[in-house]
A and B are shown apart, each in its own frame.
Chain A
Amino acid sequence: MSAFDTRRLSALVRKESLQAVRDPSTLLIAFVLPAVLLLLFAYAVSLDIRTVRIGVVVESPGASSQQLAAAFAATRYLDVTFAHDRREVADRVVAGELRGFVVIPQDFEQRLAERSGQPLVQVVTDGSQPNTANFVANYAQGVVQTWRAGMGGEVPSASIALEPRYWYNPELESRRALVPGAIAIIMTIIGTMLTALVVAREWERGTMEAVMSTPASVVEILIGKLLPYFALGMLSTLGAAALAIFVFDVPLHGSLAALLLLSAVFMVPALGQGLLISSLARNQFLAAQIALFSGFLPAFMLSGFLFEIDSMPAPIRAITWLIPARYFVSSLKTVFLAGDIWAVFVPDLLAMAAIGAVLFALARRATRKNLEP
């Protein structure tokens, strides 16, 4: 390997930067795409449940059942349609107008009086949307419990009263958790996808062959590729963070320095993965496909960004340990919503750096300075 030459490196960096600035698609991916993604996650994708439309079928004419029905109507999260026959609302559930219904049965007063442990009401939910169905079921139970408690202490009182408090995100606004996560997705796209694409483009256009025939070494060529995209990734992160904080009102409880450090370290595995892909795929289409399946989708689904890792089946949970975005998402959420908690950051930083080192070593081994297939 010829000696590392900073002049050659700076020539390559300059070339790559000029290309990045002149290529509208690069700027589109680095700056417009993040803005669109953030906008989507901030407004369009919401995991919060507000005013779910349900039916309440009051079959019993008694006073208690009227009271219970009124309790349903009074809640903040349900939009109640009353009916006296379950067939009326059943059709509307089928039509998708209602998410479920609660039946206050004919013998409600009797069941209430007997306290036999028989269920008081029947809850029917639309299982095609499991999250909402769960919510409707639980919430309906909750309404009944609360109402019964209000009836006058006849309920077997629990020895401990639960009063939940949600830390870090008191209003349980999903935007606050999603926007920091979206930054991880954006960084993956820039680090992995863009890098893989620009290297593949050089193979496609034949410029790689020309550069390889010069005295520039593989390390110089690779670093010359990475530095500009590292800078681009950091700029994009800053832009996305600014958007998140100032436009979408996501608080940054931690420090900007910590955010930048986390992002910089996350770029190591992201770029390493991009390089590895580019050493395997020498055309842009293939590179984009591999980057999509090995970089973007795992970062999207297995990082804990959208779906909680703890609720995944064990084998999938094991896989998430290999996904660098997982560590980044966890730290990002911490730095935005909780603050600079180094007990969380340090293991995450170490894990990202370790995965990055492995990917770089693999990429370095897979990239030779020749055209052997």
Chain B
Amino acid sequence: MAAAAPLPAAPRGQDRDTAVVLDGVEKHFGKVQALRGLSARIGYGRLTGLVGPDGAGKTTLMRIMTGLLVPNAGRVTLAGYDVVDDNDAIHVASGYMPQRFGLYEDLSVMENMRLYAQLRGMDADRHAGLFDELLDFTRLGPFTGRLAGKLSGGMKQKLGLACALMARPAVLLLDEPSVGVDPVSRQDLWRMVQALTDEGMAVVWSTAYLDEAERCDRVLLLNEGELAFAGPPGELTGSLGDRSFRLEEVGAERRAVLAEALDLDSIGDGVIQGAGVRVVLRADAARQQIQALADRVDARLVPVAPRFEDAFIDLLGGGPGGTSALAERLPPVRLDSNIAVSCRDLTKRFGDFTATDRVTFEVRQGEIFGLLGPNGAGKSTTFKMLCGLLKPTEGEAHVVGLDLRRATGAAKGQLGYMAQKFSLYGLLSVRQNLEFSAGVYGLEGATRRARIDEMIETFDLGRWLSAAPDALPLGYRQRLALACALMHRPPVLFLDEPTSGVDPITRREFWTHINGLARKGVTVMVTTHFMDEAEYCDRVAMLYRARLIALDTPDALKRGAATDDHADPTMEDAFIHLVESADLADEARGEASQ
């Protein structure tokens, strides 16, 4: 990567190693305070993670650094230039990749690259070498003529990166580059960014995935507009000491054990990991309580390496308790059949494009069943056919024994559905939203009033009743969405990416409810792109290129990916392994048929 950057004579200041200086940065939009007195430094030659849950202020900070927003107070310099006073120089010195794919979908890969090269003052013909290098780097070479809109999520991000890298900026700002990118492409992005920092570029990578923080050289951890931590991620994780443990082989009882563990006052945080339960002790808490619990359920308690997310939750004072008030109130679900959801040879074609290709599986009652796959793998299509929103081209699907092709209406009455982004009615109040969903599921009279009151009490919605859903804190909005989906006490619950855009604490509360529901016998179907959340599932169906490539427990999937030098793979490793094996199998088949 050797391009002539027409950088004006840079007053780089005293500190030549500092790429970005943030000094008391404040930003508010109307009454909403987005950033509160943020001060930090970002160095050259390093990958700096801007980490925090959605709504923490990451994008606002990114836009301020790239000169697209003006801070209300404080000062920001990038490569020695003030972002407000030297706005033009900022645009030369920085490369920026916005959160949403910022490229022209109706232009080809090459046309997009040429446009951004010219906008950054480069001549595409004179810099043919750089183009080849970038295409090689991003592995987009074979697709130069393809329209950007027809690229996969991962390829789009790589093209965005290539465009942001034109004219070789000193500082590269990437706003949530890994959203909508499957784990395989994400590996590619990491590799590319690593190569860039090795050359001395300052790279800022913002993300809501806390596991990504561990791969950064330094981390700026944002929470509600404040800097919660700045430094190497290991420093924060290390500060946790030996407080992370795993109860191994808890098996079928793991949900009950997690609930019990979270209710202990010595435990700050806990999640399910396959057949085990992972817990984090509160600061200065002793391990007697959890040891006693482990002994009682006959599980081994082993210390494990702390994760960044553990440290983050600890920093915020721990997660919610383990008891779901919602599940407590629910009567146990009894079904005639042991199979709650099933599909056989389920196929959906849109024109000559096959979105779902002969998918077959059965979901047992009370199971949490996960659908995983890269973008465009057919997750949503399969999901929508199973809850009666799409008609299958071929094959059949049953929910609690009802054929979705014939008894769509009756089947829909047996399932609760929570769509992405909660899909609440913004112009109705909280109470009206509840009344609407009660009405739409045919609840009437006293039952209807009783159910609504019950939901209000369970989810503590009382003081928000006349507020608009958008005005609610995220956690409450999620509760409301869940309340609406469960109003008619369905035996089967469908959750489509229920936790995207939700902070880790709210996610934990959500899973507490879901675990509670599953223990009451509610069958839960869930799609998610948080790989670690797949661990909550009893079984995971992995979809890739419209086909079901694996269906097993999370532990078994992880075991399949284990190698000699990588004995304890994560769900993400398992995912990458499965996708790569599927690709290899496809190639082998292709060669065999030739």
Contacts and interface: CB of A to CB of B under 8 A. Distances in A.
Contact of A211 (B67, B111, B114, B119): B119
Contacts of A369: 87
A212 B102 CA distance: 10
B118 A11 contact: yes
A324 B552 CA distance: 69
B96 interface: yes
B88 A371 contact: no
A210 B98 contact: yes
A12 B104 CA distance: 12
A214 B103 contact: no
Given A8-B118, A210-B163, A370-B69, A215 B88 contact: yes
A90 interface: no
B96 A210 contact: yes
B176 to A, nearest CB: 12
Nearest to A206: B100
B106 A5 contact: no
A23 interface: yes
B107 interface: yes
A209 interface: yes
Contacts of A217: 88
Contact of A209 (B70, B98, B107, B163): B98
A373 B70 CA distance: 11
A19 interface: yes
A373 B120 CA distance: 26
B29 A5 contact: no
Interface residues of A, number: 31
B489 interface: no
B63 interface: yes
A207 B98 CA distance: 9
B92 interface: yes
Contact of B91 (A7, A18, A213): A213
Interface string B57-95: 000000100111110000000000000000110011011
Interface string A215-253: 111000000000000000000000000000000000000
Given A8-B118, A214-B119, A23 B98 contact: no
B116 interface: yes
Nearest to A221: B119
A2 interface: yes
A44 interface: no
Contacts of B98: 206, 209-210, 213
A369 B87 CA distance: 9
Nearest to B120: A214
Q: Which of A1, A22, A210, A212 has the most CB of B within 10 A?
A: A210
A209 B160 CA distance: 12
B137 interface: no
A371 B63 contact: yes
A206 B114 CA distance: 19
A216 B63 contact: no
The 6 closest A-B pairs by CB, nearest first: A210-B102, A206-B100, A11-B118, A213-B96, A214-B119, A2-B88
